[in-house]
Structure 1
Amino acid sequence: MNLEFNIAVHALTFLSKHSTERYSSSELAAKICVNPVQLRRVMSKLLEEGYVITTMGKYGGYSINGNGLTIQLSALFKLFNDQRTYGRIYTGEQESECEISREMTNVMTDYHQQEREVLEKFYQNISIGDVLNKIIMEGYNGKV
């Protein structure tokens, strides 16, 4: 899981609950407790994929596109967990004399891919509606 995935789930859950309303990036960022720049980066992907719509003008903002409750978390997981990285995540070097150092990246890359497949499968049966129901029905106030 990463922050962008979490922001996407949070935003879509919030917008689904408030499906008749529009929120500016500043308003939505405040509701989600993130920086507006972080929010806009996530929302641009959600807009591109058709999960949300945006309306310009004084009363504009983001709103859910259709029934957001049916969006599967696996689709969002894939969208926000692509293969890009922003820095080194593996140890070792291909040029090393040490066989373990030469192969560590290959082995860990394989494990990382398997991990992603397990998580994607886990999220396949969870929707935005499930997240909202869990929040409302199970009353997470005060629970960790």
Structure 2
Amino acid sequence: MVSIPRLDAHMLKFSQVCVLVLTALSFLFNAPILVLITGLALALSALVPAASPFRFIYRQILVRAGWLKPRIVEDDPAPHRFAQGIGATFLLVASIVFFLFHAATLGWILTILVFILAAINVFVGFCAGCFVYYYLGRWGLLPRVRYEGGFHWRGI
């Protein structure tokens, strides 16, 4: 019997909201250090999901206080980690551009792109990074999704 992977859809949504808020604040307050912090948090979330700062805040504060409840769904976490990795890459490259090359315009363009994609995910339910992952899997460039339940537009 094949086990179907599961994940907490509310935790994923919370993570996206955190990215959305942190990138917005970084732009509004002209604080490139927030871009770096957000990029590092996303990188940690993608590489070591159990050590994700977003997951920690979600589980230890929001769930324990009863403000949010887990919503476990059948879905492969790999596309979501891939999307987090892409977001982390863009934000870390933006940080390098900010701090090493002093090219603020290019850094803000990369940051705003992550903001827009996070907003689309939060408000429309479309994960662009997941979409790319699925197609790279179809073309044999990444592992195919273990759960072939289809692409989730609103479920995450």
TM-score with structure 1 length normalisation?
A: 0.34
Choose 1 or 2 for highest CA Rg: 1
Q: Which structure shows the higher helix fraction?
A: 2
TM-score with structure 2 length normalisation?
A: 0.33
